[in-house]
Chains A and B, each alone.
Chain A
Amino acid sequence: MTADREPPQSPVPPSSAEPNQPEEPNALPAPTDPAQATSPNDVTPGSSGAPDAPPNAPGAPAPTLVALDTRNRLHPLSLLFSFIDSVRNFIIPGLLVLIFAWGDKYELWVMVFFLPAMITSILRYISLTYEITTTEVVIRQGIVSRTERHILIDRIQNLDTVQSPMQRMFGVAELTIETAGGATEAEASLKVVSRDVVDEIRAHVKGRRTVTSAADGESSLALPSADETAIDPAAATPEPRDDDDGTPAAGIPATEAPAAETSAALDEPPILRMTMANLVAYGLASGRGLAIVGAGMAIGWQFGIFDRMSERIETVFPWIEGIPVFWAVVVGVPAGFVVLALLSIVWAFLKLFGFELRRTDDGLHSVCGLLTRREATIPNGRIQSLSIRQNLFHRITGSFTMRVQTAGGETNAQDQLNRFWVVPIARLNRAPELVNAILPDTDFMRLVWQKPHPRVRRRMFFRWLLLTAFVTGILHLNGAGGWTALPLAAIPLGWVAACLRYRMLEHAFDDDRLHVVDGLLGRRHDIVPVARIQAIGLQQTPIDRYHGLSSVNVAIAGPFGSGARARVFGLPLRRGMRLYHRLRDRTEREGWAVSAALDHSSAV
C-alpha cells in the first residue's frame, strides 16, 4: 500500500463523484504505474454484469485492475486452489490409506471424491463475481440459487490475506473480508485474486474508512504522532474526546496526514519482531507438539494404522523386542519430551517465522508464516480489550503473550493466531511498552491495585465442596465402593487452589482502563478501555450474599457467549458498589463523543 496509490486529498473531478456520496472522493484512484497496468489478471470488464454501472468519467483517473462498479471474476487460478481446497480434507487420510492399506480396495473409494470437487470448483469459478463500489463490496454467487451479498465498506472490520507457498509462487492470495457480527465465519472470502488486486482493494477500503472512523470520534486510538506521546504522556495528551457535537478532534490530523508522513509511519520499525529465540520460546510455551502428536494418534487410531505399523516395525527391527522395559522407559520418556519440544518448535517456525507487528495509519498490521504467509489488520478503534496472558512456562521464564479482542466474530483457530495474538511472546519488561503501542496512554505506574476480600477463598472453596459432594454422590450411586472416598481426598486441594487464586486476584481502575488479574497457576491480565464498555453489572448470587460478597461484570462487544467481558469478584458489597458507581459514572463522563464505538451501532 504505497502512498502514491492513495493520495488522501486527491482532487476529484466532479463528474466522477457519486451522487449519493458527496463527502467522499472516489477512493480508488489510478496508480499511473505501467508495471501494474500490464498485469490485468482479474479484469473481466463488465461483460456479464452491471450495464447500469456509471462508466468512469473520462476526466477521472481510470482504475487499473479492479474497475469500480463492474463485476469481476476471481483469478483463473482459483480453479486450481478451490479444487485443492475441497480435496485437501481427503488427501492426508487418502494417502495414509493408500500407504498402509494397500490392496484393501480402499484406494478406489478415495478417488470418488475428486470428481465432484472438480465440478464444484469449476461451477464456483463461473458463478462467483465480486464488485467494488464506492460504498460497498458486492459478492454474487450461486447458479441455481443466487445469493448477492452487499458488504458496506464502512462496516468492514478486518481485511486479511493468506498466501500459501503455492499461492505465493503464482502471485495470488486469498482475501478475507470480515464485518462485526456474531458469525463464526468470515463475511466473504475471495479465493484467490492476484496480489495487486488485493492491494488495490485494501487501499480502496482504507481510503473509505479513514474518514468515517475519524468522524466517529475514534481519535483516542488513532495513530499517535510518533514521538511525543511516549515521552510525556501526561502533558502531551489533551483530552481529545471532549467534543459533544461529534466534531472529530484529534483524529483528522493524524489520519489525513500528508502522504509523506503516512509513508514515514510505514517505514517505522515494527512494534514487535520475533527473533529465533522468540520462536523457540513460543514453540515451547505453546506445547503444540503434544497437540500434533495427539492429532496424529487420533487419525492413526481411526484407520487402524498402529497395528499394521507395529507389525512392520517388528519385522524390520526384530531386535526391538529384546530391549528391557526399564531402559525403554528411562530413555524413551525423555526422548519423547524432546521430540514433543522439537515438534512444537517446528510448528512455531512454520506459523510465526518472520512475525512483524506494525502500526500503520490503517491500524495494527501483522505478517507471519514461513510457508504460508498471513497478513492481518486490526483497524484503528476496533480493539475492544487486551489481555496479557502467562502460562506456567511464561511465568518461569519471565515472558508473556498478549491477545486482543475485537468485535468481529471468532474465526477458525488458524486465523486467530495472528489476528488476536498480537504479541506471540515477549519478555515481561516489554509489557508496558507493547500495551501502550496498542492502547496508547495506558499508565501502569499510577495504578492502585486492589485485592478482593480474603473471604473470597471461602467462597471458592465452598463451590469446590459442592462439586466434590456432587461427584461423591454420583460415585456412591454407581456403587463405586471404596473409590467413593477418592473425591474427599481432593478437598484439601480445593483449599490450596482457592488460596493460590486469591493470591493472583486483583484489579485496578484508573478512570481510563479497567485492569483485572485472575489466574491459578497461569496469570491473565485483562485491560478494558472505558470507552469500550457496553454495560456494567453489579451482581450477588445467594452464595455471594451468604458471604457478604458481590461481583462487578463489565460487558465488552463481542459475539454472545464469547467470554468478552471482565469480571471482578469477591468484593464486599460496599466496595463492589463503589467500583460499579465509578465505572458507571466514568462512562457518563465519556459522554456522547464515543457513541459510535462500534460502527454498526449507527446501523438502524
Chain B
Amino acid sequence: MYKININEKEFNCEHNEDLLKALRKTLDDSIPFGCRMGGCGMCKIEVVEGDYKLGTSSMAALSLEEREKRYTLACKTYPLSDMKIRIENK
C-alpha cells in the first residue's frame, strides 16, 4: 500500500492498482477520465515525486517526450513507491 499525494490531499493505492481507480474509491472526481484503457488520454497527470509503472498506453495520447517528462495516464499508472502527482487536464 502506497500513499499518493494529489493537490495536498492523500489517498492510498495498492501496488497493483491504478491511480485513477484508487482515487475514485475515495469518491474524489478531481481527475477527469474517459476510457480507463490508456487510449484517450483524458486522465493525464504529471508525476512530481515517486516511482511507478506505466501499463500499455496510446502513443498518440501520451507521447515519448511526455513520458520522459514524467507525464502519465492515471488509469494505467501503478505506483512502485509513495507518489506526489499533479493534474494535467484542468
**A joins B in a complex:** no
